Amino acid sequence: MINKAILVGRLGSDPEVRYSASGTAVVKFSLATDSFYNKEKRTEWHRIVAFGKIGEVCGEYLSKGRQVYIEGRIQTSSWEKDGVKRYSTEIIANEVKFLGDKGSGGGGGGRSYQSGGGGGNAPGGPPADGPSYSDGPDDDLPF
């Protein structure tokens, strides 16, 4: 089975950086993606979570308006508040590519950060291995 999400969009807010009790970075931010139907623009908002070194890099270099490529898995969690069951769906990032400067049209030499784990991560936990850095071209991107 496959659980994979690929998004290209702009940050809706600066990343929120926190650390777990064990010292692992947990970074959350929102990402806006646009689609068009009958000349009408529709914006979809996504919750992104990045753990460990990827999270630290996102917290340090990303800011509101920055365009990024996110690859990860979809995770839904639920809880009960005041007798009402609530749900939240997040993308757990395992690869982040910085595509362009804040407000630019993208392009130009983005950097890539990815976790080394092969999908065997515990739900909601940090990647199994530390991230690896790649500064070279990525031939399997659709753009």
Dihedral (C-alpha) 91, 94, 99, 101: value to the nearest 10 degrees? Answer: 80
Contacts of 143 (CB under 8 A, 6+ apart): 8
Q: What is the pLDDT of residue 114?
A: 63
Beta-sheet strands, E only, within the chain: 5-11, 16-19, 25-37, 40-51, 67-81, 84-100, 112-115, 131-134
Give the residue-averaged pLDDT of 16-24. 94
Q: What is the pLDDT of residue 100?
A: 76
Closest CA to 27 of 59, 63, 60: 59
pLDDT digits (tens, 9 = 90+) for 49-101: 999 999 999 999 999 999 999 999 999 999 999 999 999 999 999 999 999 76
pLDDT digits (tens, 9 = 90+) for 114-134: 665 443 333 344 333 333 333
pTM: 0.71
Domains of the chain and CATH, by start: 5-134 (2.40.50.140)
Query: How far is residue 25's CA from residue 112's CA, in Å, rounded to a whole number?
Result: 18
**Highest mean pLDDT pick, 51-55, 103-107, 121-125, 137-141:** 51-55
Query: How far is residue 67's CA from residue 69's CA, in Å, rounded to a whole number?
Result: 7
Q: What is the pLDDT of residue 112?
A: 62
Give the residue-averaged pLDDT of 105-121. 51
Tokens of 33: 């993606």
